[in-house]
Structure 1
């Protein structure tokens, strides 16, 4: 197996403030990317029959990936240490401009310390195509213990084909349901310190929601959720979709 060693800034050609302060080398075996994802953390729901939309079923399972233990406890603490001072000055909101989120605080961040820049460079190397252009700011979304994200389909004008999120402080369950045939659905268990990656049909043909309260369950067992912070990197919208 050939291991590719590359400079994130030089070879990925990413001129983004997100990686502005980074001068580290990242080694990654591109052919091994899928092996980081745990297929046991994504499950088709019984309402989606095995013989129904087989090709779509196969595609979405490849396009909704969960990579457990992507960051260490130390890296989690470092990321939180940078965003907490700003988040603590904000109140949790219970109405969102498109009614998609309840019980949240959010911000964006483009400048990170060296350790956190290295973590985000690893996210970029693993989750996005080599030539992809990312939005310069990472989206930081803080959900209260009772907060949740309602089913929604991402708008193409805000971000491109791929998004990748680090899950901090708490595990959670994400549900994807086909935008026109809601019984075509699947759940993803997002463990604490995992990275989830969504692309293709998982982004644009399916709504996604972060379950809260009594609906937060995995394989029939309740998943208790505490406060959860996500740090999300996003691809730039395609040129034809940009404002």
Structure 2
């Protein structure tokens, strides 16, 4: 098993090297029977393992698109690249994005420079927030697991995706093609219905993941969500606001030492090309297109001071006081597929 898996990984590495260089290629013939799903290519940037938008699969396009929740195009023998829907299908960037997105010089982000980030303020009411959190705290006792590094902190995570965590009990709603929305609590079902009734063209819901934290001292490292989650990600922030940092993978690669220096990026961010998204309490931010596949998203470590714990928004001239309690609920949808 291990030897066959190594052959598959070697084939994937050779494929990506050829694809990245622009050369034509024919994929080697790895033993696909050892692959539980599409063969995902990864790039390692320092400590960050980032999935590439290219996969290997022996199956026909309809099967692969169902596996990933996104349209694909063939780029080689048994090799496919994801093809998410065009940003022009979504609502235009507007004043809301200008209000909440900043570069590291404190400038607003023009529509031309926005990689695919949108903000929907006041997506739920205070009453809805209370109902949702009451439901989630009850569910966390049954299906959540504590992923806090500090035993004094409490950071609960619930997901229907098997993440290989021995202590995790999977949430009953499942993941991917097997997602069962009927298992969601009522509060989250109403959020899903509101998203589906919005101006976003969406396929089936594929993932709901819940993170509940009760500590001011936390961070989320730069990452790209698993490809089979689907191409449309929505994240709702409850109990407190947050600053989420988007970084282009090309810049992380170019500034790899800086991007992996926690002391440096806590003060200055991961790259000079980062975009900070201020997410108000009870808002949702959505990312798709390049922001989903070619940019990472992260939460930088906060910096404590005598007056509290703070994180920058664009520059240190504008800061957010970090609150102890925060919940982030991720909703991931497929695209409407061309089967």
* Structure 1 length-normalised TM: 0.67
Moved more, 66-75 or 36-45: 36-45
Moved more, 37-46 or 165-174: 37-46
Q: Is the 8 A contact 2:233 2:332 kept in 1?
A: yes
**Aligned counterpart for 1:184 among listed residues 273, 280, 289:** 273
Partner of 2:223: 152
2:168 is equivalent to residue 70 of structure 1: no
Q: Is the 8 A contact 1:59 1:201 kept in 2?
A: no
Partner of 1:25: none
CA distance in 1, matches of 2:189, 2:205: 14
Tell me the matched-pair count: 195
2:332 is equivalent to residue 234 of structure 1: yes
Gaps of 5+ in 1: 1-29, 96-101
Partner of 1:133: 204
**Aligned counterpart for 2:98 among listed residues 39, 52, 55:** 39
CA RMSD of aligned residues (A): 3.3
2:288 is equivalent to residue 222 of structure 1: no
CA distance in 2, matches of 1:151, 1:94: 17
Deviations 1:97-141 (A, max 9, x none): xxxxx97321135324545422221123337414x1221x42111
Q: Is the 8 A contact 2:101 2:276 kept in 1?
A: yes
Q: Which runs of 4 or more aligned residues in structure 1 lie more than 6 Å from their structure 2 counterparts after TM superposition?
A: 30-33
Gaps of 5+ in 2: 1-88, 160-170, 174-182, 252-270, 304-309
**Aligned counterpart for 1:122 among listed residues 190, 194, 198:** 194
Q: CA deviation at 1:199?
A: 0.4
Q: Which has the larger radius of gyration?
A: 2
* Structure 2 length-normalised TM: 0.50
Distance 1:168 1:227, change over 3 A: same
Partner of 1:85: 138
The higher-RCO structure (CA 8 Å, 6+ apart) is 1
Distance 1:64 1:103, change over 3 A: farther
Partner of 2:302: 213
**Aligned counterpart for 1:105 among listed residues 144, 156, 159:** 156
Q: Is the 8 A contact 1:47 1:184 kept in 2?
A: no
Q: Is the 8 A contact 2:236 2:283 kept in 1?
A: yes
Distance 1:113 1:185, change over 3 A: closer
Q: CA deviation at 1:32?
A: 6.8
Q: CA deviation at 1:184?
A: 1.8
Q: Secondary structure at the match of 2:105?
A: coil
CA distance in 2, matches of 1:183, 1:47: 12
CA distance in 1, matches of 2:91, 2:223: 31
